Structure 1
């Protein structure tokens, strides 16, 4: 009868020692496979910090889908400047996050 008992989820197993809250949150994100969505949200929230207020204020919208960063730009000169620096944008986010989250930048 014990052979049919369901194995507990990794996030629900109690640990005997105290664990820092940051580690608990990381374990929970890993257990529920939320890494990709968490990284995408982090990229969007980092946009004004890494690009600066001038560029951030001239972007109408920013979102991610399938490792691609979509940026809606209202200024043609800024759009051209960002187009020429796509690799640099990817490198900035990779340096800040410590891993490659963005594979392509698409300007709208």
Structure 2
């Protein structure tokens, strides 16, 4: 028998993240951690210094050829990452 104020653990954690305004930072950290899985090992091995600041994802790319390819699919990467987060976490990607 459940009480009326019982919540699942998932709901309780989501509520805690919202109350303490940690949801965005949590989502940003999850996206950075998922970068190798989303982009593949070949791309992940040639990128470094991933960080998010002011809704922009900054990525250092070691290969100029890879940088050009990523520039061409920048909007697709943004869409894929925001979809993974479940909300609009990123507005822009900056390649360094």
TM-score, with normalisation over the residues of structure 2? 0.90
Aligned partners of 1:55, 1:24: CA distance in 2, in Å?
Answer: 36
Q: Deviations over 1:9-59 (max 9, x none)?
A: xxxxxx863321111111110110111211110110111111011101111
Whichever of the two has the greater Rg, that structure is: 1
- Matching residue within 19, 27, 34 for 2:15: 27
Residue 62 (structure 2) pairs with residue 74 (structure 1)? yes
**Pairs aligned (count):** 94
Greater relative CO (CA pairs within 8 A, separation 6+): 2
The answer to which of 63-72 and 31-40 deviates more is: 31-40
Q: Which runs of 5+ in 1 are unaligned?
A: 1-14
TM-score, with normalisation over the residues of structure 1? 0.81
Residue 48 (structure 2) pairs with residue 60 (structure 1)? yes
Where does structure 1 differ by over 3 angstroms across 4 or more consecutive aligned residues?
A: none
CA RMSD of the aligned region, Å? Answer: 1.4
